[in-house]
């Protein structure tokens, strides 16, 4: 059994943009196949640059705010309550084009499409 709490987890910058922060609740290696579960905050105007993962699925659940996810050059508007699944090899970029922070839960797991 493992118990964690967001209040005690330090914020770290994400690899795509260190101005975007996350609190990692579950790290890679804790549960087989899970790469992370993190509470992520994208400040206004920030972008998590375009990238893809060869063998990882990512699930984004918008907790607060709004923004845009660009998937394979298609823009999709995100709002509170939206849940987006990104498959392996899908090129994606997350943009906070609003004046408020965009807060999401991000879940990653290993798999093939």
CATH number of domain containing 102: 2.60.120.10
Please report whether residue 3 resides in a domain.
no
Look at the chain and report how many structural domains it folds into: 1
CA distance 102 to 113: 28
**Residue 53 domain flag:** yes
Q: Within a domain: residue 41?
A: yes
DSSP state string for 7-74: GGSPPEEETTEEEEEEEEEEETTTSTTEEEEEEEEE-TT-EEEEE--SSEEEEEEEEESEEEEEETTE
| Chain segment 16-49, per-residue pLDDT in tens | 888 999 999 999 999 999 999 999 999 999 999 9
pTM: 0.91
pLDDT confidence band for 113 (50 / 70 / 90): low
| Residue 55 located in a structural domain | yes
| 97, part of any domain | yes
Inside any domain, residue 21: yes
CA-based nearest residue to 68, from 48, 103, 95: 95
* C-alpha closest to that of 109 among 59, 68, 66: 59
């Amino acid at each position: 059994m493992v118990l964690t709490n967001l209040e005690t987890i330090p914020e770290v910058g994400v690899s795509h943009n260190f101005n975007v922060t996350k609190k990692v609740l579950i790290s890679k290696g804790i549960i087989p196949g899970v790469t992370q579960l993190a509470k992520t905050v994208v400040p206004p105007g920030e972008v998590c640059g375009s990238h893809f993962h060869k063998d990882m699925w990512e699930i984004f659940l918008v907790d607060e705010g709004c923004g845009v996810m660009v998937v394979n050059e298609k823009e999709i508007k995100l709002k509170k309550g939206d849940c987006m699944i990104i498959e392996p090899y899908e090129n994606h970029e997350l943009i906070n084009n609003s004046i408020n922070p965009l807060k999401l839960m991000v879940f990653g797991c290993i798999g093939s499409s």
